[in-house]
Amino acid sequence: MRGVYIGDGRVLVSPVWGGKLLVPAGDLSLAPSLIIDGAFELPLTKYLLKQVKTGAVVFDVGANLGYFTVLLGFLAGPAGLVVAYEPNPDLHTILSDNLAINFHHHQTTLIKKAAHSKAETLTFHVAERFSGLSSLKERSPEGMRHNIDRVKSLTVEAEPLDIHLTHLNHVDLVKIDTEGGEFQVLSGMRQMLERKVVDVIVFEWNRVMLGGDAEPLIDLLVDLRDRLGMAFFKLTEDGGLVPFSIEEARNEEFIENIVAKRV
């Protein structure tokens, strides 16, 4: 066990890579793995440990409680910059607390908005028990985990990542986990991609949650490969990379992590 209950509905966890994390005791998505194993999504964790260096500029889009945000903060260090997007107000609070207990506020910009294709006000669907399933995309009752979750809808502000071009001319890595919002996030960073500002993007492929955005996402990614020279990979269990033809995603329902690298 890597966690201890400290009251107020929170568990204090010791991640395998160091630091500390406050975890909502009632969460059924990230909390069980973090409390028992001290880690979540091990292939991606191992990849980031290898990839992100001191001084890096990185984005965590869909930061949730801050597992990857805090990890990236340790890897980038005080000379780096971590930009974390999390629109869920309850998770935003615990994410902010996790930055505080790890002394990362000075190197992290925390944004309580959704990353999207443009600046607008949107409806965000919060999964109350499996927080990792929260999304701008509305999930059918059949799509909720074991039909035991509850969903509440709230209004959030959204903005494109391209707004950061006013003060950033290089981004080492963007990690996106938005439960079907990946096409909209990538559409909102087209200027960053066109100007070859971003070196690496890590994102999820979830055909069901993408819905009507699935084929447009494939088209966008093919364009990034053919016109801008980005290469695509899947992650191995040890955080390594295996070349991947993005068209193959059409035949798969779910790929936990796809890595796009500028070459």
Q: What is the pLDDT of residues 42-87, one digit of tens each?
A: 999 999 999 999 999 999 999 999 999 999 999 999 999 999 999 9
- Which pLDDT does position 188 carry in this prediction? 98
Number of domains in the chain: 1
pLDDT band per the 50, 70, 90 thresholds, residue 131: confident
Residue 144 has pLDDT above 60, yes or no: no
- The answer as to whether 169 is a domain residue is yes
Write down the pLDDT at residue 147.
Answer: 58
> Does some domain include residue 151?
no
Asked whether residue 58 is domain-assigned, the answer is: yes
143: pLDDT strictly greater than 70: no
Buried b (16+ CB within 10 A) or exposed e, 227-237: eeebebbbbee
- The answer as to whether 90 is a domain residue is yes
pTM of this structure: 0.95
Domain presence at residue 7: no
Q: Give the residue-averaged pLDDT of 25-47.
A: 96
| Confidence bin at 127 (pLDDT 50/70/90) | confident
More confident site: 106 or 149: 106
Q: What is the CATH classification number for the domain harbouring 76?
A: 3.40.50.150
Whether the per-residue pLDDT at 142 is higher than 80: the answer is no
Q: At what angle do helices 89-101 and 67-76 cross, to 10 degrees?
A: 30
Task: Domain of residue 240: give its range.
Answer: 41-117+157-262
Angle (nearest 5°) at CA 71 between 14 and 9 = 45
Say if 16 falls within a structural domain: no
